[in-house]
């Protein structure tokens, strides 16, 4: 375990993208790239009309919504979300987010693992 | 481990206070009161002039700053913080926050433990 305190300014973390349209994220803590342990975190932005498609991964994940509105799919349910909403997603539960609003949707996410490379995604 | 998805709206979580002047928080996930596991989280607000005094606890803690500005003490160092800043604080490292600004300072915090009652604070 790292014993180093670590501070990062969000805008200093590189923007990452994948296959999902209108979705980008920045990794804030992940032991494969930051001197941190135990928690892997970042911020994700979804443009209006964009969606983080339905997926699952073995680790649990926590979302804290920062800005915008959208619809989260959790297993077979859909829930409308807005800033201040917090969702705990059990490991392997299918989940996704779509931004059906007119402004950027932004959320903070965290996994109880050292590093993002431990989070193996299965797209559904 | 809970296999239940859990959603909470921040304003639905009760406001909690302690001995620190101008400091209040809301617990968002903690296994002693929510059907969650592995991550204990919440939001903390510090009024202008208020301070979360220097303290330590065995679990590591992660801060993500949401609003306002202030000064974080980390071990023997002081760092100015603003929204988007993220700090990973190793277990048992003394830390504190003071709001020397004119607006509310707000942050999201998370510990890699099931429940807040596992986070034993020592005030310094």
> pLDDT tens string for chain B (124 positions)?
446 899 999 999 999 999 999 999 999 999 999 999 999 999 999 999 999 999 999 999 999 999 999 999 999 899 999 999 999 999 999 999 999 999 999 999 999 999 999 999 999 9
Look at residue A2 in the predicted model and tell me its pLDDT.
47
Q: Are B72 and B61 in contact (CB under 8 A)?
A: no
Look at residue A31 in the predicted model and tell me its pLDDT.
97
Look at residue B7 in the predicted model and tell me its pLDDT.
97
Look at residue B4 in the predicted model and tell me its pLDDT.
86
Cβ of B112 within 8 Å of Cβ of A39? The answer is yes
> Structural domain of residue A49, as residue ranges?
13-111
Q: Which residue of A has its CA nearest to B61?
A: A39
Residues of B in contact with A84 (CB under 8 A): 9-11, 43
Cβ of A60 within 8 Å of Cβ of B4? The answer is no
- Considering only CA atoms, which of A68, A6, A15, A80 is closest in space to residue A43? A15
Q: Which residue of B has its CA nearest to A73?
A: B5
Tell me how many degrees the CA angle A5-A84-A93 measures, rounded to the nearest 5: 85
Q: Are B87 and B73 in contact (CB under 8 A)?
A: no
pTM of the model: 0.97
Look at residue B3 in the predicted model and tell me its pLDDT.
67
Cβ of B74 within 8 Å of Cβ of A5? The answer is yes
Residues of A in contact with B76 (CB under 8 A): none
Phi/psi-derived region of residue A11, left when phi > 0, alpha when psi is between -120 and 50, beta in every other case: alpha
Using CB atoms, which residue from B5, B81, B112 is nearest to A112? B112
Q: Looking at the 3D structure of chain A, how many domains does it have?
A: 1
**Residue A12: what are its φ and ψ, rounded to 5°?**
-85, -15
Asked if B104 is an interface residue toward chain A (Cβ–Cβ < 8 A), one would say no
Asked if B119 is an interface residue toward chain A (Cβ–Cβ < 8 A), one would say no
Both tokens of B47, joined, read: 């009024």
Residue A107 within a domain:
yes
Neighbours of B74 (CB within 10 A): 19
Residue B116 within a domain:
no
Look at residue A39 in the predicted model and tell me its pLDDT.
98
Q: Which residue of B has its CA nearest to A108?
A: B64
Both tokens of B94, joined, read: 């003394």
Residue A117 within a domain:
no
**Residue A66: what are its φ and ψ, rounded to 5°?**
-105, -40
**Residue B116: what are its φ and ψ, rounded to 5°?**
-60, -25
Report the CATH number at residue A66.
2.60.120.10
Residue A120 within a domain:
no
| Sequence-ordered list of residues with C-beta below 8 angstroms from that of A39, at least 6 positions apart, any chain | A29, A110, A111, A112, A113, B39, B60, B62, B88, B110, B112
The HSE-up count of residue A25 (CA atoms within 13 Å, CB side) is 19
State the SS3 of B22-62.
CEEEEEEECCCCCCCCCCEEEEEEECCCCEEEEEECCCCEE
Q: From CA A45, how far away is CA A9, in angstroms rounded?
A: 16
Both tokens of B23, joined, read: 């400091």
Residue B2 within a domain:
no
Residue A104 within a domain:
yes
- Which residues in chain A show pLDDT less than 50? 1-2
Does the model's ipTM exceed the 0.90 cut?
A: yes
Q: From CA B30, how far away is CA A75, in angstroms rounded?
A: 22
Residues of B in contact with A86 (CB under 8 A): 7-10, 28-29, 41
Residues of A in contact with B41 (CB under 8 A): 62, 64, 86, 110
Residue A68 within a domain:
yes
Residue B121 within a domain:
no
Q: A87 CA to chain B: closest CA distance, Å?
A: 4
């Amino acid at each position: 375990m790292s014993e180093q305190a670590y501070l990062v300014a969000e805008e200093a973390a590189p923007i990452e993208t994948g296959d999902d349209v209108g979705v980008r994220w920045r990794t804030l803590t992940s032991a494969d790239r930051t001197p941190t342990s135990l928690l892997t975190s970042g911020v994700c932005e979804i443009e209006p009309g964009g969606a983080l498609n339905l997926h699952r991964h073995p680790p649990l994940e926590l979302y804290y919504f920062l800005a915008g509105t959208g619809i989260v799919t959790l297993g077979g349910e859909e829930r409308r979300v807005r800033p201040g909403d917090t969702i705990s997603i059990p490991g392997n539960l299918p989940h996704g987010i779509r931004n059906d609003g007119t402004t950027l949707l932004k959320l903070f996410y965290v996994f109880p693992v050292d590093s993002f490379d431990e989070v193996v995604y299965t797209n559904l």
